Amino acid sequence: MIGAAFALLGHSVVVSGRLGQLDGSNLLVLALLFLVCESVPTLLNVKQAAVSVSFSAVLAAVVLVGPEGAALVGMTAVFSVRPGLPPVKRLFNGAQFAICGYAAGQAYEWLGGRVGLPTIAGFDDLIVPFAGAAALFVPLNFLLIAIVLVLTGQADQVPLRGLAQFMVSYLGYATFGLLIAGLWATVSSISAVLVLLPLFVARWAFGQYLAQQRSYDATIAALCQAVETKDYYTRGHCTRVSMASGMIAQEIGMGPERLRAIRYAGMLHDVGKLGVPTKVLQKDGPLTEEEFAAIQLHPMRGLEIVRGIDFLDEAFAGIMHHHERQDGKGYPMGLAGDEVPEFARIIAVADAFDSMTSDRSYRGARPVGVAMAELRKGAGTQFDPVMVMAFIKAVDRDGWEPPRKVVTPPADVAETATKDHDDPTMPIQVVSER
């Protein structure tokens, strides 16, 4: 590919001689613009922003300086500020942008596009050739990258998922190239700033938002990890409860904001186990009333632990009430029916289901069908029938992957609890001390 790009530029210089006639100042500004855009992922930390914006600079070059110019502009990707990018990758980036830029330029001219500063009267004639150039650039760019990934044995990295959406969004970004070229006649190089600045600001803000979401997720995951180290057998329990809760919430038509909150609630529902003495969690045999009370306190403890995290919002209700029952015999408050918050009714189903379908120290995992029957049996007394039905429907459609069989936990690292307070098939035995 690198060879092809050089051959292309050589051909432009020697055979066609067109490279010598290019408008040097426009070319320089476009190349600089491209270079800035290419270097931005490092600054922005949003990969897509850079790719999309830099390719609009190449497309603007197609109009303003023609195929050879677009190839030269694309070639400058070699010099982008991306610390740690190996030279061969730099050369490849430059080469594929050069080839795509050149091909797009050829398509543009072939469709009757005029190279040079567009006039206001001639702007309409630009649109069809420009659309043709963009329609070639985007798939070609994708194809060249896919070829290299396949040749280097990274075929699994080819972003096939969401490809259509990717193509459409990139064709949308192509419009920015047209805007830059169109405005160039009136405000010359400032047009790039006028067009791209708002885009960069929006992208930067979006990047900030993504970074914030990631740090939220990491915080929640760390808390879960802390809970799960207390019991070897519950590894992955929070994640699976979060997933199952999300399935139920989606099935009953919850909006994206609440969906996010219920997933957090699922992750954190048992965080209060951190406040229950490990010796109680690990005790073999029946618990005393006092010990059972300590377990029953875990939803409150959970709330105390995460109360300061304000983005959790509605998740608090889910954490606090996930052991309430429809018949009012649950804890900590003994709420019944609709008094139990919706989040808690969802988590109760997801929680019991995952507990039953996972291995415990005192029994093996039960099959999904058996656990489902158990949920049905408890519908109306322990569980909200609406949530049970929603979950059964979702699992019937999307399936459920139960955790893998637990091999005997390593004796030196693992702590295991003897009883699982979430298991509806084997309730904790309590003996009276009096």
Stretch that binds Fe ion, among 66-74, 75-83, 270-278, 362-370 (CB under 5 A): 270-278
Q: Are strands 430-431 and 287-288 parallel, antiparallel or unpaired?
A: parallel
d(CA 241, CA 150): 37
According to the binding rule CB under 5 A, does residue 342 interact with Fe ion? no
Specify the residue, 132 or 318, whose C-beta has the smaller distance to Fe ion. 318
For residue 425, which phi and psi values (nearest 5 degrees)?
-85, -20
Task: State residue 365 phi and psi, 5-degree precision.
Answer: -65, 145
146 contacts 159 by C-beta, under 8 angstroms: no
Residue nearest to Fe ion (CB): 270
| Rounded least distance, CB 268 to Fe ion, Å | 11
Q: Nearest approach, Cβ of 301 to Fe ion (angstroms)?
A: 10
> Which residues 6+ apart lie within 8 Å of 434 measured at CB?
none
Task: Single out the segment in contact with Fe ion by CB under 5 A; choices: 23-31, 90-98, 158-166, 265-273.
Answer: 265-273
Minimum distance from residue 403 beta carbon to Fe ion (Å):
17
Residues in binding contact with Fe ion, number by CB under 5 A: 1
Nearest approach in angstroms of CB 245 to Fe ion is 13
Which of 137, 331 has the CB closer to Fe ion? 331
- Min dist CB 302 to Fe ion, Å, is 8
**203 or 269: CB nearest Fe ion:** 269
> Given the structure tokens 């406040």, which residue do they identify?
275
Q: Answer whether the bond into residue 332 is a cis peptide, omega within 30°.
A: yes
Nearer to Fe ion, 270 or 384 (CB): 270
Return the number of the residue (78 or 280) whose C-beta is nearest Fe ion: 280
As a whole number of angstroms, the distance between CA 384 and CA 322 comes to 12
Q: Is 354 in the site for Fe ion (CB under 5 A)?
A: no
Query: Distance between CA atoms of 319 and 52, rounded to whole angstroms?
Result: 42
How many residues are recorded in the chain? Answer: 434
Short-list 35, 56, 219, CA closest to 137: 56
Nearer to Fe ion by Cβ, of 270 and 342: the residue is 270
Which residue, 270 or 374, is less far from Fe ion as judged by CB? 270
Q: CB of 324: closest distance to Fe ion in angstroms? A: 11
Angle at 316 between CA 313 and CA 317, to 5 degrees: 110
Of 107-115, 188-196, 203-211, 267-275, which part binds Fe ion (CB under 5 A)?
267-275
Whole-number minimum distance, CB 160 to Fe ion, in Å? Answer: 40
Q: In the structure encoding, which two tokens stand for residue 50, read together?
A: 């850079």
Neighbours of 165 (CB within 10 A): 9
- Name which of residues 35 to 64 contact Fe ion (CB under 5 A): none
Q: Can residue 270 be called a binding residue for Fe ion (CB under 5 A)?
A: yes
What count of Cα atoms within 13 Å lies in the side-chain half-sphere of residue 71? 23
Which residue, 251 or 270, has its beta carbon nearer to Fe ion? Answer: 270
SS3 269: coil
Closer Cβ to Fe ion, 203 or 273, answer by number: 273
431 within 8 A of 286, measured Cβ to Cβ: yes
DSSP, residue by residue, 214-260:
HHHHHHHHHHHHHHHTT-GGGTTHHHHHHHHHHHHHHHTT--HHHHH
Residue that is written with structure tokens 């029916």 in the block? 337
Considering only the stretches 50-58, 103-111, 244-252, 268-276, report the one whose residues sit in contact with Fe ion under the rule CB under 5 A. Answer: 268-276
Minimum distance of Fe ion from residue 296's CB (angstroms): 10
Closer residue to Fe ion in complex, CB, 36/344: 344
Give 270 or 354: the residue with its C-beta nearer to Fe ion: 270
Give the nearest distance from C-beta 422 to Fe ion in angstroms.
6
> Percentages helix, strand, coil for the chain, rounded to the nearest 5?
70, 0, 30
Q: From the CB of 322, what's the least distance to Fe ion, in Å?
A: 6
**Shortest gap between Cβ of 339 and Fe ion (angstroms)?**
19
In angstroms, the CA 98 to CA 59 distance is 11
Q: Give the range of 65-73, 264-272, 309-317, 405-413 binding Fe ion by CB under 5 A.
A: 264-272
User: What φ, ψ does residue 85 adopt, rounded to 5°?
Assistant: -80, 120
Where do contacts with Fe ion occur on this chain (CB under 5 A)? 270
